[in-house]
């Protein structure tokens, strides 16, 4: 009984310790911002150790539950039969008192073939058996309570893990050697509340799911190689910047003493949000008159205009979350008719288009319409002069 009680107390203490550790991790993680200047090298190591410790503790508890469950299943039927066989004498002992109960329990325990010696020793043996079964019953109750508490502990850990994943969107799938596999869930903000003078005609999903396969430099938390799945977001610039994070000058108090891994993950999430918003806008801008393609790696939109003219539009940094205007890099002829338009005229159109007010260059469709108007004006001017 003492062993079971000690085990029960130990499990409860373990649950409380693990709960406090998880709560502390959640508290620490909630205070960490990817724009802060604290070094998270030790945090990642600490997180790895905590994850390993928690997995080991969970495995140990699972083994103990399995052993206890097997023990209870094997002894349950035997214990029930023995308790049922003694239920009547126990009830009589309790109702009539100990002395009268001894006489009553002595009588049914004797058989016609028993001698007087056996009869005289029957009450002692019977009372001892009652005492032993009573102890076993108490042990079973304690063990059952322990199982219930262990189940509650597992449920609590599972709930905490789900809450942590929901808030952070980041989950370590695998961490072995210098390789980390991360599950990255990026929440996409409501477009109508963020975009400047933009209209969305397509439904956007509330989140984007990716997986990062990260290889670190030996003995450090610095990036060596990174892959993203699905590969629908260009992260090469972010990767190159993160690799040289320690050597590149940054404003004091912004990125000083920060882990390149921390900066990289935050940068990838920001890039996913930006690329997703841009794709939604490009898809929404497609019409019977114009069609658009978005090239994420080049941060460029190709507008296919009427007449076989393609406009290559450069997106400013942070667009569409910023109010900066689009830039027309060049115009190219894509049909036999449009090839008759001179390169000089196309360059003139680009020059005039980029002089438009910022408000006229913020939306894809609006800017493309203005480019077409300028093109027609320039072509008319050339025709008139000749």
Residues forming beta bridges with residue 187, ordered by sequence position: 207
Domain end point (choices 275, 295, 324) = 275
| Domain interval for residue 218 | 172-275
Distance from the first to the final alpha carbon of the chain:
109
- Distance, CA of 355 to CA of 260 (rounded, Å): 39
Residue 44: pLDDT over 80: no
Residue 282 three-state SS = helix
DSSP summary character for residue 199: -
Quick one: 17 and 90 in the same domain? yes
Q: Regarding predicted confidence, which is higher, 1 or 282? A: 282
Q: Say which residue the tokens 């600490």 belong to.
A: 46
Alpha helices for 286-385 (secondary structure H):
343-353, 364-385
Across 148-157, 198-207, 349-358, least confident range: 198-207
Average confidence (pLDDT) over 338-361 = 89
pLDDT band at 166 (very low <50, low <70, confident <90, very high): low
Percent of the chain with pLDDT over 90: 26
Q: Both 176 and 135 in a single domain?
A: no
Query: Quick one: DSSP state of residue 44?
Result: H
The pLDDT-based confidence of 230 (bands split at 50, 70, 90) is very high
Residues 294 and 370 in one domain: yes
Quick one: tokens of 16? Answer: 């409380």
Same domain, yes or no: 176 and 62: no
Residues 48 and 144 in one domain: yes
Is residue 32, in this structure, part of any structural domain at all? Answer: yes
The answer to the question of residue 88 being in a domain is: yes
The one-character DSSP state at 217 is P
In this prediction, residue 35 carries a pLDDT of: 45
Count up the domains in the chain and report the number: 3
- Contacts of 73-80 with C-beta under 8 Å, sequence gap 24+, read 79/133, 79/136, 79/137, 79/140
Interatomic CA distance for residues 237 and 254, integer angstroms: 19
3-state secondary structure of 232: coil
Burial environment of residue 236 by CB neighbours within 10 A (0 to 12, 13 to 18, 19 or more): exposed
**Residues 6 or more apart in contact with residue 237 via CB below 8 angstroms:** none
Residue 248 CB neighbours (<10 A): 10
User: What single-letter DSSP state applies at residue 1?
Assistant: -
* Pair 61, 150: CB distance under 8 Å: yes
Using the predicted structure, report yes or no on whether residue 119 has a pLDDT greater than 50: no
Residue 280 lies in a domain: no
Last residue of a domain, one of 139, 168, 197: 168
- The rounded radius of gyration (Å) of the Cα atoms in the chain is 38
- Average pLDDT (117-143) is 70
Top-ranked range on mean pLDDT: pick from 130-139, 327-336, 369-378: 369-378
**281 assigned to some structural domain:** no
Q: How far apart are CA 79 and CA 132, in angstroms?
A: 11
Please indicate, yes or no, whether residues 137 and 19 belong to a single structural domain of this protein.
yes
Residues 117 and 203 in one domain: no
Residue 377 to residue 212: CA distance in whole angstroms: 50
Residue 136 lies in a domain: yes
pTM for this structure?
0.55
- Please indicate, yes or no, if residue 370 is contained in any of the structural domains: yes
The C-alpha atoms of residue 358 and residue 28 are separated, in whole angstroms, by 43
Contacts 24+ apart (CB under 8 A), 62-65: 64/7, 64/11, 64/150, 65/147, 65/150
- Phi and psi at residue 309, to the nearest 5°: -110, 130
Task: Tell me which of 168, 189, 204 is where a domain ends.
Answer: 168
Q: State pLDDT tens for residues 11-21.
A: 455 555 556 66
């Amino acid at each position: 009984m003492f062993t079971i009680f000690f085990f029960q107390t130990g499990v409860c203490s373990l649950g409380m310790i693990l709960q406090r550790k998880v709560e502390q991790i959640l508290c620490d993680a909630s205070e960490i911002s990817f724009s802060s200047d604290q070094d998270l090298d030790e945090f990642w190591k600490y997180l790895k150790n905590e994850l390993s410790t928690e997995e080991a503790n969970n495995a140990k508890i699972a083994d103990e539950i399995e052993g206890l469950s097997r023990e209870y299943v094997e002894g349950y039927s035997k214990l029930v039969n023995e308790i049922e066989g003694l239920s009547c004498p126990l009830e009589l002992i309790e109702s009539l008192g100990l002395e009268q109960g001894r006489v009553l329990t002595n009588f049914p325990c004797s058989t016609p073939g028993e001698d007087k010696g056996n009869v005289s020793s029957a009450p002692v043996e019977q009372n001892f058996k009652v005492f032993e079964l009573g102890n076993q019953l108490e042990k079973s109750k304690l063990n059952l309570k322990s199982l219930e508490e262990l189940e509650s502990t597992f449920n609590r850990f599972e709930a905490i893990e789900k809450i942590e994943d929901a808030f952070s969107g980041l989950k370590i799938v695998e961490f072995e050697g210098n390789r980390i596999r991360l599950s990255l869930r990026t929440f996409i903000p409501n477009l109508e509340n963020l975009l400047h003078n933009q209209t969305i005609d397509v439904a956007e999903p509330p989140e984007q799911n990716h997986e990062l396969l990260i290889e670190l430099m030996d003995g450090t938390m610095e990036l060596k190689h990174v892959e993203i799945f699905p590969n629908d977001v260009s992260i090469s610039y972010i990767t190159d910047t993160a690799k040289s994070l320690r050597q590149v000058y940054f404003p004091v108090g912004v990125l000083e003493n920060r882990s390149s891994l921390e900066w990289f993950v935050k940068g990838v999430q920001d890039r996913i949000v930006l690329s997703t918003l841009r794709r939604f806008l490009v898809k929404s801008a497609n019409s019977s008159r114009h069609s658009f393609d978005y090239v994420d790696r080049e941060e460029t939109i190709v507008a296919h205009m009427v007449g076989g003219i393609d406009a290559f539009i450069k997106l400013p940094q942070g667009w569409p979350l910023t109010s900066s205007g689009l830039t027309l890099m060049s115009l190219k002829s894509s049909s036999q008719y449009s090839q008759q338009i001179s390169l000089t005229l196309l360059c003139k159109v680009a020059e005039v288009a980029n002089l438009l007010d910022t408000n006229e260059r913020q939306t894809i469709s609006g800017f493309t319409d203005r480019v077409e108007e300028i093109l027609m004006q320039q072509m008319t001017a050339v025709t008139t002069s000749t």
